Amino acid sequence: MVTIKDVAKYANVSIATVSRALNKDDNKVKPETREKVLHAVKELGFYPNAIARSLHHKKTKMIGLIIQDISNPYYPRIVRGVEDAAQKHGYTVVLANVYRSRQRTQNYLKIFREKRLDGVIICGGGIVKNAEQDNFFKENIMSTVVIGKPLVDDLHSVQVNNFLAAKDACEYLINCGHKKIVTITGPKESTTANDRLEGYKAALMKYGIEPKEEWIIQGDFQYESGYNAIDYFPGIGKDKITAVFSQNDVMAIGVIKALRERGFEIPKDISVIGFDDTLFTASHGLSSVAVPVYDLGKTAMTILADLLAGNDVPLITTLPTKLIIRETC
């Protein structure tokens, strides 16, 4: 591997000069000298060692991105948003799927710290309150931006108002004449799921409908839990249940599949509304609450870059959602 020394020798200058010639902003080097250096660089195929540079600058120009599971269609666009913005600001992203495991999260946080990443973006329920992680963030070892609700105070975040969005969606159903509405929830630890659940309840209450225990069906944001939810429905039909508010799309697609297999027509027999509006909801004709996932990612990265540049950034940034009505309700 060719080093700065080789270039210096080849160009007949000191390594200090090579360094200066390469860091453009520094115009304290004679044009001819720079030419010589640039020529040597090309000739030898020199690629400056970013590791050595990092050691000096104490910056790696890399950030970590912690997500729960890239194969959940909610995440890819977030990743894209983060990466596009990262690229724009000169950062490179290290990806970490933690599958909601505290262990894996901790492990990656440790690796990120050792590798001296400049910052980290944490997506969703990763940050379970817990001594060691708490320390990690409290000590402010790494600039951090959370996508979603941070469980640790003082962390910057970009969010969506899940409570209101869920409430709106459910109110829409109620205004369509539905009075008995089931909801399929996300995992218990998820604050996102929790907010959506509260929004559901609030909508019902607003219209004087008492949300029954049996209407709240525990899901986990996975397809199967939507598909199986039907087994827990307290019956389907005018006097039973006429609509389902699925707290994400994947589960909504699951219920729809199960519903159709049992001969129910949608929305004739029962309405379904999802959440997230991820890829393919359109092809399923699924009504859903659109979450601007790409922008969540992009904004999070932009905020992180700002933070790293020493700029002031508001603690919470909220992005708007949008109810999209298609064919399932």
- Residue 13, binding choice from DNA, a copy of itself, none, Cβ under 5 to 8 Å by partner class: DNA
Q: Does 30 bind DNA (CB under 7 A)?
A: yes
Binding residues among 105-124 for a copy of itself as defined by CB under 8 A? 110-111, 113-116
- Residue 4, binding choice from DNA, a copy of itself, none, Cβ under 5 to 8 Å by partner class: DNA
Q: Does 15 bind DNA (CB under 7 A)?
A: yes
Q: Does 257 bind a copy of itself (CB under 8 A)?
A: yes
Q: Does 3 bind DNA (CB under 7 A)?
A: yes
Size of the site for a copy of itself (CB under 8 A): 47
The span of 52-60, 84-92, 246-254, 285-293 binding DNA (CB under 7 A) equals 52-60
Q: Does 138 bind a copy of itself (CB under 8 A)?
A: no
Among 31, 45, 177, 263, binds a copy of itself (CB under 8 A): 45
Helix/strand/coil for 246 = strand
Site string for a copy of itself, 54-73 (x = CB under 8 A): xx--x-x-x--x---xxx-x
Query: Which secondary-structure segment (H or E) carries 169?
Result: helix 162-175
Residue 52: φ, ψ to 5°? -60, -40
CA angle 33-37-42, nearest 5°?
A: 150
Burial of 45 (0-12, 13-18, 19+ CB in 10 A): exposed
Q: Which residue, 195 or 249, is less far from a copy of itself as judged by CB?
A: 249
Q: Which residues of 196-215 are buried (b: 16+ CB within 10 A; e: fewer)?
A: bbebbbbbbeeeebebeeeb
- Residue 19, binding choice from DNA, a copy of itself, none, Cβ under 5 to 8 Å by partner class: DNA
Instruction: Please state, in angstroms and rounded to a whole number, the distance separating the CA atoms of residues 254 and 116.
Output: 42
Helix/strand/coil for 304 = helix
- Which contacts of 85-91 are long-range, i.e. CB under 8 A and separated by 24 or more positions? 85/297, 85/298, 85/299, 85/300, 85/301, 85/302, 85/305, 86/301, 86/305, 89/301, 89/302, 89/305, 90/61, 91/61, 91/62, 91/63, 91/118, 91/301, 91/305
What tokens were used for 315? Answer: 């603690």
Helix, strand, coil tally for the chain in percent (to 5): 45, 15, 40
Helix/strand/coil for 244 = strand
Q: Which residue, 16 or 325, is less far from DNA as judged by CB?
A: 16
Q: Does 111 bind DNA (CB under 7 A)?
A: no
Query: Are residues 274 and 252 in contact, defined by beta-carbon separation less than 8 angstroms?
Result: yes
Among 24, 31, 131, 139, binds a copy of itself (CB under 8 A): 139
Q: Does 16 bind DNA (CB under 7 A)?
A: yes
Among 25, 283, 310, 311, binds a copy of itself (CB under 8 A): 283
Among 8, 37, 75, 248, binds a copy of itself (CB under 8 A): 75
Instruction: Please state, in angstroms and rounded to a whole number, the distance separating the CA atoms of residues 142 and 149.
Output: 18
Q: How far is the CB of 118 from DNA (least distance, A)?
A: 15
The span of 13-21, 88-96, 146-154, 155-163 binding a copy of itself (CB under 8 A) equals 88-96
Residue 316: left (phi > 0), alpha (psi -120 to 50), or beta?
beta
Q: How far is the CB of 30 from a copy of itself (least distance, A)?
A: 26
Residues near a copy of itself (CB under 8 A) are 1, 45, 47-52, 54-55, 58, 60, 62, 65, 69-71, 73, 75-77, 79-80, 83-84, 92-97, 110-111, 113-116, 139, 223, 253-254, 256-257, 279-280, 283-284
Please report, as ranges, the residues that interact with DNA according to CB under 7 A: 1, 3-5, 12-20, 22-23, 26-30, 32-33, 46, 48-49, 52-53, 55-58
